[in-house]
Amino acid sequence: MEYAHATGTLSGIWLLVAIPLASAAVLLLLGKRADKWGHWLGVLAVAASFVLGLVFFISLAGLDADKRSAELSMWDFISVGGLHVDFGILFDPLSGVFVLLITGVGSLIHLYAVGYMEHDPGRRKFFGYFNLFVAAMLLLVLGNNYVMLYFGWEGVGLASYLLISFWYNRPSAATAGKKAFLMNRVGDAGLAVGIFLMFATLGTTQYQEVFNGLGSLSATTVLVLGILLLLGAAGKSGQFPLQAWLPDAMEGPTPVSALIHAATMVTAGVYLIARSNYIFSANSTLQIIVVSVGALTLLMGCIIGAAKDDIKRVLAWSTVSQIGYMFLGVGLGGGAYALAIIHLLAHGFFKANMFLGAGSVMHGMHDQVDIRRFGGLSKYMRWTWLTFMMGWLAIIGIFPFSGFFSKDPIIEAAYSRDDWTAWLFGTLALIGAALTAFYMTRLFVLTFHGPERYTEENKHPHESPFIMTIPLMLLALGSIVAGYLLSTSIPDWLEPVTGSGEGEPVMAKWLITTLTLALSIGGALFAWSLFRRGTALQEQPAGVVVTAARRNLYTDAFNEAVFERPGIYLTRALVYLDNKGIDGIVNGIAAGIGGSSGRLRRLQTGFVRSYALSMLTGAVLVVGAFLAIQLGWLA
């Protein structure tokens, strides 16, 4: 495979990243002077990128199918010995659709945020971070090598961390920011080690050269490389075992949840795997692992989502679960890569729609997030209700809404594997569809229908202003039509990047479609009948399954026991060792801030002696190690 050089109109693709970056710089550096107009600049920058993206997309479509890519090498970034990294950009069918998703949905969410953040004193800063995020995300999908991808990867991580912690005065926001940061770091480390492994075995990180050089690698190397990339992808996309941060990330402002933690950043993992499809298709064990991660996560997300009462958390777990579908798709390989991307794009629309809808509900309800305290809101918020309904119908996959066209083919593809696993994964995906219908209906009914269960301060819900509902309407339109449009166009469009080919399902396609629809409607009806008369206002005692689901299936407890505790102990042990029996840090600080001189004297003698002792111990160890090596050498 080979990428064509960027020529003509396409040589301006760097502008896509540069515009939001410049805007972010202006917003963050100008400070208060930009308070009055800053948010409009932010909206404009993203909209400009969208228009440009559209222009580039059309010129790309005008090229021959086999030359449909534009690579632009800006400068030689690092070259150390055999390692050579370009600062280069690649605009091809895959990055093209991502650019449109990021800037298109991004523009709408930016517009919405103008209204949502109206009363927040930090609005300008918020838009600065938001633009920074868009620039980083565009860099992520536009890089022409893994190092550039890593740039964007770190950038979106940083912006996400800042935006989750945006409401710093809520302790939960700070904790959530920390959690997101740490879990993402695990994934980032995997990606970084994977990139170095690529460099060690192939001597390059350019996409083109990596994919062409794969043939020379052993199966084990490909497997390890794939697992490392998958670890990165799972961290960013909230997939098992790194899923716990995503629901907590909902502490950030709602537009952030919609843009970063639903529509774009969390799909970066899917992008990474789709981009690296040559690597993942090269090893069937790897594909099984990806499929298993996807299937496991999609079920986990459904089960936990069904037990949550916080509107944003339910949506967050549904995001986890829907990305599980996408992982399932990219794991299946062949034509299913395109299916996963279709689902990703369709999901970008309907999930952003629902998140913004949830934001609109919170806006009208004094930031109440507990769905047990909603009910009957359809009367007060017509537009929010209608648009949310489109998103709801789309996610549960009712014909002819977009989820139907995007999810059903993935289930079919899962049933098309060529051994017994077709039954396993196909059926898991099918169960997932039924559960999705159940918990999303629960959310919808408890929020918009049934008796009113408001608290004292929320007696008078109101609809949001037009600046917030107009993006909702546009996104709702997307939730209706996007699926059909995408499913008829994307597979051919992506064929040069991801390849094609599909197997024959183990049962007839119409049967799978019928089953999916029937189970979804069944799940929805069941939820309707359970919740149409409202629900208890407090948490009720529950059986084993529900309790486990409320506790996130004990994954948090697991993380705490396996990672957090040992981490804390390691830190404590190191601190202890570093201070050799003296509670040095405390004393040191006390002395540093101006403790008594007597205390300092004691501290001083103690320290030097113990420091010298620790140096002596180190010296004995180092000398001993050298001598041991020498003795071993003689033997």
Which stretch, 163-171, 257-265, 407-415, 477-485, contacts other proteins (CB under 8 A)? 163-171
- Locus of tokens 């740490």: 182
Strand pairing partners for 143? 89
574 is an interface residue for other proteins by CB under 8 A: yes
Nearest distance, CB of residue 272 and other proteins, angstroms: 16
Residue closer to other proteins by CB (options 84, 509) is 84
Among 432, 362, 361, 353, which Cα is nearest to 391's?
A: 353
Residues 457, 164, 314: CA angle, nearest 5 degrees: 60
Nearest distance, CB of residue 204 and other proteins, angstroms: 11
Interface residue with other proteins among 51, 518, 545, 622 (CB under 8 A) is 622
147 is an interface residue for other proteins by CB under 8 A: yes
Q: Is 77 helix (H, G, I), strand (E, B) or coil?
A: strand
Nearest distance, CB of residue 327 and other proteins, angstroms: 23
Nearest distance, CB of residue 271 and other proteins, angstroms: 17
409 is an interface residue for other proteins by CB under 8 A: no
Residues 140, 145, 146: CA angle, nearest 5 degrees: 70
- Phi (first) and psi of residue 88, to 5 degrees: -135, 155
Q: Which two tokens stand for residue 73?
A: 């090498």
Q: Give me the sign of the Cα torsion angle 554, 171, 468, 311.
A: positive
Residue closer to other proteins by CB (options 21, 437) is 21
Residue closer to other proteins by CB (options 165, 559) is 165
Question: Which residues in 313-342 contact other proteins (CB under 8 A)?
Answer: none
Which stretch, 161-169, 334-342, 427-435, 554-562, contacts other proteins (CB under 8 A)? 161-169
Residue 16: alpha-carbon gap to chain centroid: 21
Please name the helix (run of DSSP H) or strand (run of DSSP E) that holds residue 87, with its range, or none: strand 83-91
CB atoms within 10 A of CB 382: 12
Residue closer to other proteins by CB (options 177, 305) is 177
Nearest distance, CB of residue 213 and other proteins, angstroms: 16
Residue closer to other proteins by CB (options 188, 408) is 188
What is the rounded CA–CA span in Å between residue 246 and residue 555?
13
What is the rounded CA–CA span in Å between residue 470 and residue 457?
27
CB 293 within 8 A of CB 323: no
Residue closer to other proteins by CB (options 47, 162) is 162
Q: How many residues bind other proteins (CB under 8 A)?
A: 75
581 is an interface residue for other proteins by CB under 8 A: no
Question: Which residues in 12-51 contact other proteins (CB under 8 A)?
Answer: 28-29, 31
171 is an interface residue for other proteins by CB under 8 A: no
β strands within 430-471, DSSP E: none
Residue closer to other proteins by CB (options 150, 401) is 150
Question: Which residues in 594-613 contact other proteins (CB under 8 A)?
Answer: 594, 597, 600, 604, 607-608, 611-612
Whether a cis peptide bond, with omega within 30° of 0, leads into 465 is: no
Residue closer to other proteins by CB (options 514, 597) is 597
Interface residue with other proteins among 141, 159, 162, 316 (CB under 8 A) is 162
562 is an interface residue for other proteins by CB under 8 A: no
Residue closer to other proteins by CB (options 178, 509) is 178
CB 283 within 8 A of CB 276: no
What is the rounded CA–CA span in Å between residue 63 and residue 75?
25
Residue closer to other proteins by CB (options 1, 573) is 573
Nearest distance, CB of residue 228 and other proteins, angstroms: 10
Q: Is 70 helix (H, G, I), strand (E, B) or coil?
A: strand
Q: Is 56 helix (H, G, I), strand (E, B) or coil?
A: helix
Neighbouring residues of 212: CB distance < 8 A, sequence distance ≥ 6: 1
Interface residue with other proteins among 56, 150, 280, 392 (CB under 8 A) is 150
Whether a cis peptide bond, with omega within 30° of 0, leads into 461 is: no
Among 327, 358, 356, which Cα is nearest to 340's?
A: 327
Per-residue binding string, other proteins, 81-120, x by CB under 8 A, is xxx-x-----------------------------------
What is the rounded CA–CA span in Å between residue 298 and residue 21?
35
Single-letter amino acid, residue 20: P
Question: Which residues in 178-207 contact other proteins (CB under 8 A)?
Answer: 178, 181-182, 185-186, 188-189, 192-193, 196-197, 199-200
Among 467, 464, 453, which Cα is nearest to 364's?
A: 464
Residue closer to other proteins by CB (options 225, 315) is 225
Which stretch, 37-45, 76-84, 258-266, 299-307, contacts other proteins (CB under 8 A)? 76-84
Angle of helix 584-592 relative to helix 565-579, nearest 10 degrees, comes to 60
DSSP class of 75: E
626 is an interface residue for other proteins by CB under 8 A: yes
Interface residue with other proteins among 215, 541, 633, 635 (CB under 8 A) is 633
Nearest distance, CB of residue 285 and other proteins, angstroms: 22
Residue closer to other proteins by CB (options 174, 506) is 174
Q: Is 73 helix (H, G, I), strand (E, B) or coil?
A: strand
Residue closer to other proteins by CB (options 161, 317) is 161
536 is an interface residue for other proteins by CB under 8 A: no
- Phi (first) and psi of residue 334, to 5 degrees: 60, -130
593 is an interface residue for other proteins by CB under 8 A: yes
